[in-house]
Amino acid sequence: MPSAILALEDGSVFEGRSFGASAERSGEVVFNTAITGYQEIFTDPSYAGQIVILTNPQIGNYGTSAADNESARPYIEGLVVREFSGITSNWRSDEEAREFLSKHGIPVVSDLDTRALVRHLRTRGVMRGVLSALETNVETDGPKLVEKARQIPTMAGLDLASRVSTTEPYAWDKPVEACSPSELVPAAAGPRFHVVAYDFGIKQNILRRLVQVGCRVTVVPALTSADDVLALKPDGVFLSNGPGDPEPLQTQVDSVRRLIGKTPIFGICLGHQILGLAVGGRTYKLKFGHRGANHPVINKITNKVEITSHNHGFAVDPDSLNANEVEITHMNLNDQTLEGFRHRSHPVFCVQYHPEAAPGPHDSHYLFDDFVKLMEGER
């Protein structure tokens, strides 16, 4: 295999082998600790603008399946792994992971020490980088790539949600599919509620879960006004996940602020951060973010711990929220960051993590049922 180089803005250079497209890509270098679900990570729009390191030592061994896509294409800028399997072994696979990434122009660097790289990022924080897997690479290209990494925009202040959002509204009616012939996936008898979902980079499994609990879903672009949303006569509004910094999204924040009190609202991830800003809070960038399928979160209402799936580099400052208006409902047990809150006067709630999983545990699926209960209460 040809060589590949990952260069970081602090001057660090990591060398390995190319297993994807012959390409050079740049972005914020982050890591994900999930053991499975690499295809869902590849196709999650929340990873736009990022080069992803997967800490599980072997990637690609179960191939890819069209049913596991979270969007129409991969959004990661590049991939870094310890070992990329050349063998696919899974009855559901319809394409090798290497072919899947190559045809979309995603470079992969394999055969490097991902443990050392992740420890470096945990110490120094995530940073900008360039992944070069061009066939013309030679070892002396490292310093040039470091300079390129220092020139790319930082994630702080970057509006990526508008870039990945749909440009036109569309309807979604597909429920969750069984992963094996023997699996039974119970579904609602039919749509009872009309949910308008803001697409800030929405994952398809979120849409599937909404359909599963009895919703008819209309997905709208990120810049859709509050008036246009209300004109669709929704029973509830959903605020999706997405990439980038929430602070530049002032148009979206203003629209959500105008919707509070007029319709039930449920937000996750970037949607949670936008709601935090809409109620007067502040957001900030985490040192290395939360990305994985094994993060413990305590539900302060039930006092139960949920193992949850995460993908975010920003968080809402709990001290910036007005305790008379909102109630904190979930906290992260690893670092005590805010994971969820609800409004005291209006049917509005949100969480920072991903209750739809994909990949990840199912501990938090109940939140979609809670959204339905909110809409039932408003009828």
The CATH number covering residue 347 comes to 3.40.50.880
Tell me, yes or no, whether 146 and 165 share the same domain: no
Residue 371 lies in a domain: yes
Provide the CATH number for the domain around residue 36. 3.50.30.20
Rounded Cα distance between 163 and 45, Å, is 10
Residue 138 lies in a domain: yes
Which residues are 132's β-sheet partners? 5, 24
Tell me, yes or no, whether 120 and 172 share the same domain: no
Out of 272, 312, 330, 354, the active site residue is: 354
> What's the count of helices (H) and strands (E) in the chain, helices before strands?
10, 19
Tell me, yes or no, whether 139 and 57 share the same domain: yes
Distances 284 to 156, 238, 273 between C-alpha atoms, Å? 9, 23, 10
Tell me, yes or no, whether 67 and 87 share the same domain: yes
With a CB cutoff of 8 Å and minimum separation 6, the contacts of 360 are 34, 37, 293, 308, 309, 354
Known catalytic residue at 269: yes
Which residues are 354's β-sheet partners? 309
For 60, the domain range is 3-151
**Single residue among 94, 129, 151 that ends a domain in this structure:** 151
Residue 46 lies in a domain: yes
Tell me, yes or no, whether 319 and 373 share the same domain: yes
Tell me, yes or no, whether 226 and 140 share the same domain: no
Cβ–Cβ under 8 Å, residues 258 and 226: yes
Sign of the dihedral through C-alpha 29, 292, 311, 92: positive
Known catalytic residue at 354: yes
Tell me, yes or no, whether 198 and 235 share the same domain: yes
Domains in the chain: how many in total?
A: 2
Tell me, yes or no, whether 83 and 211 share the same domain: no
DSSP state of 375: H
Tell me, yes or no, whether 339 and 190 share the same domain: yes
Rounded Cα distance between 50 and 41, Å, is 11
Distances 54 to 38, 57, 95, 168, 209 between C-alpha atoms, Å? 8, 8, 20, 33, 26
Rounded Cα distance between 292 and 181, Å, is 28
Residue 330 lies in a domain: yes
Instruction: Give the pLDDT score at 139.
Output: 52
Residue 21 lies in a domain: yes
Rounded Cα distance between 276 and 307, Å, is 23
Residue 156 lies in a domain: no
**Single residue among 118, 151, 184 that ends a domain in this structure:** 151
Tell me, yes or no, whether 167 and 261 share the same domain: yes
Q: Taking Cα atoms as reference points, which of 107, 73, 120, 158 lies closest to residue 5?
A: 107
Question: What angle in degrees, to the nearest 10, is found between the helix axes of 366-378 and 204-212?
Answer: 60
Out of 28, 40, 77, 269, the active site residue is: 269
Residue 353 lies in a domain: yes
Q: What angle do CA 147, 151, 157 make, to 5 degrees?
A: 145
**pLDDT tens for the 379 residues of the chain, in order:** 788 999 999 999 999 999 889 999 999 999 999 999 999 999 999 999 999 999 999 999 999 999 999 999 999 999 999 999 989 999 999 999 999 999 999 999 999 999 999 999 999 999 999 999 987 655 557 899 999 999 999 999 999 999 999 999 999 999 887 555 544 455 656 789 999 999 999 999 999 999 999 999 999 999 999 999 999 999 999 999 999 999 999 999 999 999 999 999 999 999 999 999 999 999 999 999 999 999 999 999 999 999 999 999 999 999 999 999 999 999 999 999 999 999 999 999 999 999 998 999 999 999 999 999 999 987 6
Rounded Cα distance between 98 and 106, Å, is 9
DSSP state of 274: H
List phi, psi (to 5°) of 339.
-120, -5
Q: Is 272 exposed, middle or buried (0-12, 13-18, 19+ CB in 10 A)?
A: buried
Tell me, yes or no, whether 188 and 241 share the same domain: yes
**Single residue among 151, 169, 193 that ends a domain in this structure:** 151
92-106 confidence digits (pLDDT tens): 999 999 999 999 999
Known catalytic residue at 179: no
Residues belonging to the chain: 379
Rounded Cα distance between 135 and 168, Å, is 39
Rounded Cα distance between 156 and 245, Å, is 6
Q: Token pair of 291, please?
A: 């990305």
Sign of the dihedral through C-alpha 76, 335, 205, 268: negative
Instruction: Give the pLDDT score at 336.
Output: 97
Tell me, yes or no, whether 187 and 128 share the same domain: no
